[in-house]
Homo-oligomer: A and B are copies of this chain.
């Protein structure tokens, strides 16, 4: 239902260890998050236009194997936890050619207004809250 986000490794993303630098994975996770919301029919750009931001409060990532230039990566995002004030999202990044898991991670976000003050999403955007709730991992 929610196919993975396909990412082609960029040359600029490699480092002199000849693998993708670890700081790139949070950017890929974000691309998968963006894609997830796009496919769910509520693009993140629209959420921001409604005055709601989603800053990170925590990031965790475990690295199993390096992604290389020439690789295509499949990143899967899934909602792990949801509350009116925060959301927790899981990610898995696989190498497309052989399905090997390269990295997995979690991001925790607060729901805030444009001044980065915490809001109650369930009250402020009940439709969005319901939509996210329906996507919660079983």
- Interface positions of A (Cβ within 8 A of B): 8, 10-12, 14-19, 21-24, 26-27, 30-31, 34-35, 43-46, 48, 53, 55-63, 66, 68-70, 116
Contacts and interface: CB of A to CB of B under 8 A. Distances in A.
Given A23-B23, A55-B66, 5 more contacts: A8-B35, A16-B48, A23-B30, A58-B62, A59-B60
Which DSSP category, helix, strand, loop or mixed, fits chain A's interface?
A: mixed
A27 B12 contact: yes
A59 B61 contact: yes
Nearest to A110: B63
B53 A17 contact: yes
A66 B34 CA distance: 20
Nearest to A11: B30
